[in-house]
Structure 1
Amino acid sequence: MGTDQQKTFKVLITTVPFGELDQNPLIELNNQNNIEYVINPINRKLKEHELAEMIGEFDALIAGTEPITRYVLENATNLKLISRVGIGLDNVDLLFAKENGIIVSYTPDAPAPAVAELTIGHILNSLRGISFSDQNLRSGIWYRTQGQRIAGCIIGIIGVGRIGTRVLKHLQGFSPSKILVNDLNRNDELYKSFNATYTTKEEIYKNADVITLHVPLTSKTRNLITLKELKLMKSSAMLINTSRGGIINEDDLYIALNQEMIKSAAIDVFVNEPYNGKLVELPNCYFTCHMGSMTTDCRSRMEIEATLEVIRYLNKKPLQNIVPQEEYDNQLNM
């Protein structure tokens, strides 16, 4: 006997926080009569085995940076869509997902403004010693740190995509003495419009006072910065990474900072998160907790875009942010 009742579509939301800054993603889900959702009950980044145990019954996953590995996907017997809150995809086994007919979408534009601004914040902190001065004062030490202005520096940007381009734009107001850029997809017209000079990564390592990284984690960028590259840098160089953990070899960075091969590093992303490694021992390494996208507007946009993609899928409407083939190609040799 037939029925008009539509099957319940089950959604697991693993990214945290979710729906706290802005209730609209939850409102959108609640407006769908046949959606049931569960928000991460552990309220932290899930480990691989935790997600594997949890995912079995769900049709869609609104995901953060937790490991969505082959093992996890083998347990995702009902999964049809992964809607990633964010831009990085190194935590998702795209190739295995594709083999099993699981669509992957993401929110590539939403995080860019916030990550770019955090990068500028790290540059300013590195040049002026803001957090160092704060720590001194709290320890009863009144010491006026002698810093540098961006205007007197050569800034090197490796990776001039969505975020790198915004960093390039923000830097215009500070008038650096020179901006050096490198990207796989060279765009001389863009660089000219921002008074930037295209060059090799090696020339950036050798000449830049500040080097900031804005590349995805792929087989080509994993361990992009090792002791070899760090030795090329000026002893006064400052290294910024707000892109992905794994791009800088953390053990090599520890050696370089400990031996003062470079002046400092500012790191927002780590191989293993939450981070509790030995870099925290060093006074010339500054940290933030993978918070590049964590501004109210950008985080809200990421969450609502990922949510609407799930609703489009449920209602058989075209998805707007399906991961392009290029991202799958990036994982072929990883």
Structure 2
Amino acid sequence: MRIAVLDDYQGAFGALDAARRLGDHEVVVFRDSVRGAALIERLHGCEAAILLQQRTALPREVVECLDTLRMIAQTGRHTAHLDLRALAERGIVVSAVGSGTPAVTAELTWGLILAALRGLPDEVARLRAGSWQGSVGTRLIGTTLGVLGLGGIGGRVAAVGAAFGMEVLVGGRAGSADRAAAAGYAVAADTADLFTRSDVLTVHLPLNASTAGIVTADHLARMKPGALFVNTSRAGLVAPGALAAALAAGRPGRAAIDVFDDEPVLGATDPLIALPQVTATPHLGYVEWGVLETLYGSAADAILAYAAGEPTGVVTPPDEPLAGR
């Protein structure tokens, strides 16, 4: 088969065992992102495609023009970026397989928090430019870490905060409250209370119909002027435009983000990147060698199983019509 590996930004695929295991097939790796007609052209002649997380969306208008594609190996379980009904109508099998590890996203979260509070990006740039010490950092010990969503990632972030001597305050659904109580963390009265009391507020929720826009302008306006808002989950958890407006108003005073509404962000097209109060990274939360080995390895397994006539991890369309993208 001719297999397209899409959006391999770092060119990592060729260094992984997954590439070796697909050596009997023709594999073409693309390092940039394209959409629409360019994506259709890119996939022409390919029978299978490997999609890394949600980097590539396949809406109906693209799917209906895919004339040779027969199989998609989607890494991870999330498929909201794929029009599953359109794919099924075209007879294209979708295997959603493998997952990352919460630990590496939790590590990146703390890297962003420390970088923002101690002004590390500016100090690195200043030192390289020949200057010495231009800012004063903010401590963690004795402050309040707010965690919205105490799941696999949020739980690890909370544990590190506690180790730094922070008071951990948890918000979210009943499951988060139960886990917080079991771990000895405080539980916020509601989401507004969580945002009001936190010095560092980090969001760790999946993005779905019930969580889209769950962080509102009102929530952000309740934060302290010196507080830090952190998002390494999904940009869509925050109401459109709310974070940029809140930062302009001074509440919160800073933000550290790894996710954007429209990725990849090229040429500083997202307004948050230009704000001096923002420490930003290009969605690096899961980008780590061990995670990529697992994700691409699962994709290779799925393609080999499909080639052998025994597809695995097949995802079927929902019973109801898909909502528009």
Counterpart selection for 1:191 from 143, 164, 180? 180
State yes or no: 1:281 paired with 2:274.
yes
- Note the alpha carbon deviations across 1:224-258, whole angstroms, 9 max, x for none: 33422211222222111111233334633222212
- 1:115: Cα distance to partner? 1.4
Counterpart selection for 1:49 from 13, 34, 37? 37
Counterpart selection for 1:13 from 5, 8, 20? 5
In structure 2, the residue matched to 1:23 is: 16
- 1:45: Cα distance to partner? 1.8
Q: How does 1:58-73 map to 2 (within 5 A)?
A: 58-64=46-52, 65-73=55-63
1:246 counterpart SS class: helix
Partner Cα distance (1:83, 1:154) in 2:
42
C-alpha change, 1:81 and 1:154, in structure 2 (3 Å) is farther
The question of whether the paired residues in 1 share the 8 Å contact of 2:145 and 2:158 is answered with: no
In structure 2, the residue matched to 1:305 is: 298
In structure 1, the residue matched to 2:115 is: 125
Counterpart selection for 2:201 from 195, 211, 223? 211
The question of whether the paired residues in 1 share the 8 Å contact of 2:151 and 2:176 is answered with: no
- 1:290: Cα distance to partner? 1.3
User: CA RMSD, aligned part only?
Assistant: 3.0
Partner Cα distance (1:297, 1:113) in 2:
11
Which consecutive aligned stretches of 4+ in structure 1 deviate over 4 angstroms post-superposition? Answer: 18-21, 98-101, 321-325, 327-334
Q: Structure 1-normalised TM-score?
A: 0.82
Deviates more, 1:93-102 or 1:271-280: 93-102
C-alpha change, 1:166 and 1:328, in structure 2 (3 Å) is farther
Gaps of 5+ in 1: 1-8
Task: State how many pairs are aligned.
Answer: 317
- Note the alpha carbon deviations across 1:125-173, whole angstroms, 9 max, x for none: 2332222333444452523513111x32222222334433332344443
- 1:112: Cα distance to partner? 2.7
Q: How does 1:146-295 map to 2 (within 5 A)?
A: 146-149=137-140, 151-183=141-173, 186=175, 188-199=177-188, 200-249=190-239, 251-275=241-265, 276=268, 277-295=270-288
1:306 counterpart SS class: helix
C-alpha change, 1:47 and 1:24, in structure 2 (3 Å) is same
- 1:205: Cα distance to partner? 1.7
The question of whether the paired residues in 2 share the 8 Å contact of 1:240 and 1:265 is answered with: yes
Partner Cα distance (1:61, 1:10) in 2:
9
The question of whether the paired residues in 2 share the 8 Å contact of 1:19 and 1:25 is answered with: no
- Note the alpha carbon deviations across 1:295-319, whole angstroms, 9 max, x for none: 2222222211222122122223462
Identity, % of aligned pairs? 25
